[in-house]
Every structure is written in C-alpha cells, then in structure tokens.
Amino acid sequence: MTVKSSNHPALRDARCAVETAELTKRFDGFTAVDRVSFAVRQGEIFGFLGPNGAGKTTTIRMLLGLIAPTAGQASVLGFDIGHQAAEIRRRIGYMSQRFSLYNDLTVAENLNFFGRTYGVRNPLLRERKRTILEMAGLRGRERELTRNLSGGWRQRLALGCAILHRPQMLFLDEPTAGVDPISRREFWDLLYLLSDEGRTIFVTTHYMDEAEHCHRLAFIQHGRLVAFGSPEEIKAEKMRGQVLEIDCSRPETAMSVLRSAGVFDEVSLYGALIHAVAEDAEELLPRVNQVLIDAGVEIRTMGVIRPSLEDVFISCVREKVVDTDAHRRAPAGLAPDSRSFLSPKSPHGGTK
C-alpha cells in the first residue's frame, strides 16, 4: 500500500471509503494511536485486529469525528474527519460492542426509535422494518422486550438498527464480543449479505478466526500497525519461521520441555494442540520427537503446518516488541538485528 504523506493537502481517492495518513492520538502523554496510515476500499469487509487496548476503538472514534486526532489526516467516504464529521455520520452506521440498544423497549420499538432518529418515517420505516426483521430472523419477536433476547438475537437487532437508514458504510466495534460461536457465524453471514449489496464494512475484532472472513486486514498493537493486507498475503509475508503442530499427551509438560530446549521462538497452546515456531521447524522434528519421548510424552501427530492468522499475529507482535526493545538497548547510531534476540540460545515462550 502506498502511504500518503501527512502533509498531503487532501485525501480524495474515489476508490477508497477510508484513508488515513499518519493518524495519531495522544492522551496526557500516552499515545493511543501512533502514526497509523491505511486505506479501505469501497465495498470490502475490512478487519481491524488487535488485543484489548491496542487502539482499535480510539481509531474508530477519530474516524467518526467523535474525538479529534492529535496529528495526521483521515477521510471517510470522501469527507474530512476534522471538518465534515456531520456529513460522515449521515452516511454511516455504527454498532458498538455493547450493542447500544434500549433494554426496556421491544424489538419493534427499538427499530422505530432508531429509524426516526435517522429520519426514516412512515411507510418507508415500515418497509425497512419488515426487511430487517426478515433478514435478522426476528419476525415474530417484534413485541419481545430486548432485555429478554439472547446475545445472538440482540446482536442481530443492533445490526438492524444500524442499517435502517441504508448507510454507505458500517463501523462495527467488536460486534461479536461475548456471543456464542454459532451466533457469530450467523452474524458474519449477514455481513456478507450487506457486503454483496455494495456496503463497505469496517469491523474491529480480536477473534482471529473471524479475520479469515475479511477481504483485507490491519493488525494494530500498542497503537501501531504491525501488518496490512489480505489474510493470505499476511500469512505469506509476515510469518517468521515455520509452525510445528503437535498433538500429544501431557501438553503442559510438553510445552515446558520444548521451551527448555531453547530452539523455538514461540511455544503456545491452541486448544488441545501445541504450536511451536522456529526458523527451520521441519529440521527439528527428530530432536523434538526424542526430547518429548524422553519426557514421557506420547506423540499422537506432529508436523509442520500452514500458519494461522493467530500464529502470524503473535509473530508480528513479538517482532515489534523485540525491535523496540533492541533499539532501546542499542548504543546510539546502531540498529541491531532483531533476530539476535531469537537465537537458539535464548528460549522464548508464552501461552495463548
């Protein structure tokens, strides 16, 4: 991606729904978003990933014009976030991780309220309510109090309220937090329907499996972008080393042994499986087999696999942390090679 300079007079690429250049936000000396530059194409589902506190929500709040950036520029749907925030808000829908619904109102009353707030009234509102109730599977629940809905149903209702005015773009801030896996999958089916209609969707999440469903992604950590591209591009370009997946008995013992071996950059537990990352993991198979057998661990299956997005994210975050740490420790004028911190003599570990 070509990053526009922060002194560019305007951000106006007609193919882009969102453009940012060196976008920065500081709070009392703390930098929440640090010189972030990216572009979101019109009509795509764009995933903005990162752990809690990484800067995702702060970025969205700036893009919506709710808070002013400390530095940098951004535009949404061709409008400047600093001077045309009202124009942006007329054209977008927003769904927060708390769903922003009124629990003491029924499903129909919530739809009526949000519709009128957006200026949708009378026959048009009735028509769109029917469409949303059908799309969200809420037909027959119109008179049910929102507080009595399960998390999955509340999620669908919140999405319906956010699209009553037919926005060009949707901002969804961790919309599936706390929702069961089946409801999450059904919610993403709805997002695909909206994307097929031409809407641009900007979604933040810390679920890596959801990120696989996005057209393109940005990883953010400590306010800085650490990766950008399609899921396949990120896997191909950003993964450092190979991933060895191990299915074995006594996984906690196995992880301790692998970390002590001092040959892996990362050893993590993925459900019942172990993922161990090294530059040449395939060459380590005989050694790993022997040390696990010596430790009394039974190996069911073991082999090098394609990295998941979670593997890549951990790798990107570790690389960023190591690079930052290296520069802090290096003498002035030197730029150390971060690989020196990942040598076989320096074991690293950490559970997921």
Q: What is the 3-state secondary structure (H, E, C) of 268-296?
A: EEECCEEEEEECCHHHHHHHHHHHHHHCC
Residue range 30-58: average pLDDT? 94
CATH 3.30.70.100 domain position(s) in the chain: 239-352
Distance between CA atoms of residues 307 and 232, nearest Å = 10
Is the pLDDT confidence value at 11 over 80? no
Distance between CA atoms of residues 283 and 279, nearest Å = 9
Residue range 280-286: average pLDDT? 94
The pLDDT value given to residue 258: 96
Is the pLDDT confidence value at 346 over 70? no
Close Cβ partners of 201 (under 8 Å, ≥ 6 residues apart):
44, 45, 46, 169, 170, 172, 191, 194, 195
Distance between CA atoms of residues 290 and 194, nearest Å = 52
Most confident of the following: 7-11, 104-108, 206-210? 104-108
For 317, the token pair is 């975050």
**By C-alpha distance, which of 35, 33, 87, 43 is closest to 64?**
87
Residue range 87-101: average pLDDT? 87
The pLDDT value given to residue 12: 55
CATH topology assigned to domain 239-352:
Alpha-Beta Plaits (3.30.70)
**Is pLDDT larger for residue 99 or for residue 125?**
125
Query: Does the structural domain 16-235 have CATH classification 3.30.70.20?
Result: no
Sign of CA dihedral 296, 300, 305, 308: negative
| Crossing angle (nearest 10°) for helices 107-117 and 151-162 | 20
Is the pLDDT confidence value at 225 over 70? yes
For 176, the token pair is 């599936």
What is the identity of the amino acid at 35? R
CATH 3.40.50.300 domain position(s) in the chain: 16-235
Distance of CA 241 to the CA centre of its chain: 23
**Is pLDDT larger for residue 186 or for residue 335?**
186
Mean of the per-residue pLDDT values for the chain? 85
The pLDDT value given to residue 69: 97
Distance of CA 224 to the CA centre of its chain: 13
Provide the percentage of residues in the chain whose pLDDT is more than 70: 86
Q: What is the pTM of this model?
A: 0.79
The pLDDT value given to residue 79: 96
Residue range 213-233: average pLDDT? 94
The pLDDT value given to residue 319: 67
Q: What is the 3-state secondary structure (H, E, C) of the chain?
A: CCCCCCCCCCCCCCCEEEEEEEEEEEECCEEEEEEEEEEEECCCEEEEECCCCCCHHHHHHHHCCCCCCCEEEEEECCEECCCCHHHHHHHEEEECCCCCCCCCCEHHHHHHHHHHHCCCCHHHHHHHHHHHHHHHCCCCCCCCEHHHCCHHHHHHHHHHHHCCCCCCEEEEECCCCCCCHHHHHHHHHHHHHHHHCCCEEEEEECCHHHHCCCCEEEEEECCEEEEEECHHHHHHHHCCCEEEEEEECCHHHHHHHHHHHCCCCEEEEECCEEEEEECCHHHHHHHHHHHHHHCCCCEEEEEEECCCHHHHHHHHHHHHHHHHHHHHHCCCCCCCCHHHHHCCCCCCCCCC
The pLDDT value given to residue 179: 81
Residue 271 confidence class, pLDDT cut points 50, 70, 90: confident
The values of phi and psi at residue 9, to 5°, are -65, -25
